[in-house]
């Protein structure tokens, strides 16, 4: 390994130590250990250290093809110590600022969606339902009025027919009247029997259902 490669490796590991310190603070900021269960914290810790190890090894592989030296660990510790003493406060302030800015942007878009999209659409739907109900009520009232008018017209029209039939019935011969009365009574009796049979079936079906 040449001196240039060793120097580049030292600088890369110092940088990775500082990045590791920032990543550790970011990880602790979002994990919130006190609010999490122990097994969740354990799993996240294992994943965090695994990812950090892969990142260090990948950078080391790019710099010196993955050769490990004792000074590499010292460089990592120096980078981590430099971050802790020089950059930690600045980074934490910057991190909190970025988090608060992202939260503010998120809340802004939520309010924008609520007032620009959700609320107008909800108002339009409510207005449409109210309009449909009002139209339905109006059509129902109009239908009732039309039915009443139709019944009145039928009553008025049926009066001359009723009078004509009653006069015609009076002038009919007695033998024809008797024939018509017999036929009417027979038809009425048949309808009565059909009605009674239907009612019996309904009562049996209700008892069977119970």
DSSP classification of residue 66: T
CA torsion, ordered 202, 204, 209, 210, to nearest 10 deg? 120
Instruction: Look at residues 60, 76, 79, 58 and name the one whose alpha carbon lies nearest to residue 68.
Output: 60
Q: Is residue 171 predicted with pLDDT exceeding 70?
A: no
pTM value is 0.57
Residue 5 neighbours by CB under 8 Å, 6+ apart: 63, 64
What's the mean per-residue pLDDT of the chain? Answer: 83
Instruction: Look at residues 189, 188, 191, 165 and name the one whose alpha carbon lies nearest to residue 177.
Output: 165
For the chain, the domains span 3-101, 174-210
pLDDT digit string (tens) for 106-130? 999 999 999 999 999 999 999 999 9
pLDDT digit string (tens) for 90-101? 999 999 999 999
Q: What pLDDT is recorded for position 105?
A: 95
């Amino acid at each position: 390994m040449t001196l240039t490669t060793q120097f580049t490796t030292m600088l890369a590991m110092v940088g990775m130590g500082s990045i590791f310190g920032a990543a550790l603070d970011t990880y602790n900021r979002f994990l919130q250990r006190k609010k999490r269960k122990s097994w969740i914290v354990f799993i996240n810790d294992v994943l965090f250290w695994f990812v950090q190890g892969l990142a260090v090894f990948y950078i080391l592989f790019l710099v010196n093809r993955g050769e490990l030296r004792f000074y590499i660990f010292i460089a990592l510790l120096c980078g981590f110590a430099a971050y802790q003493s020089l950059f930690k406060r600045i980074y934490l302030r910057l991190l909190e600022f970025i988090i608060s800015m992202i939260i503010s942007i998120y809340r802004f878009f939520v309010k924008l969606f609520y007032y620009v999209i959700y609320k107008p659409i909800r108002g339009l739907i409510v207005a449409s339902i109210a309009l449909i109900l009002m139209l339905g009520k109006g059509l129902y009232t109009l239908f009732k009025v039309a039915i009443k008018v139709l019944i009145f017209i039928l009553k008025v029209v049926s009066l001359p027919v009723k009078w004509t039939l009653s006069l015609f019935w009076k002038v009919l011969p007695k033998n024809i009247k008797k024939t018509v009365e017999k036929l009417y009574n027979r038809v009425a009796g048949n309808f009565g029997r059909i009605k009674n049979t239907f009612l019996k079936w309904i009562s049996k079906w209700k008892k069977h259902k119970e």
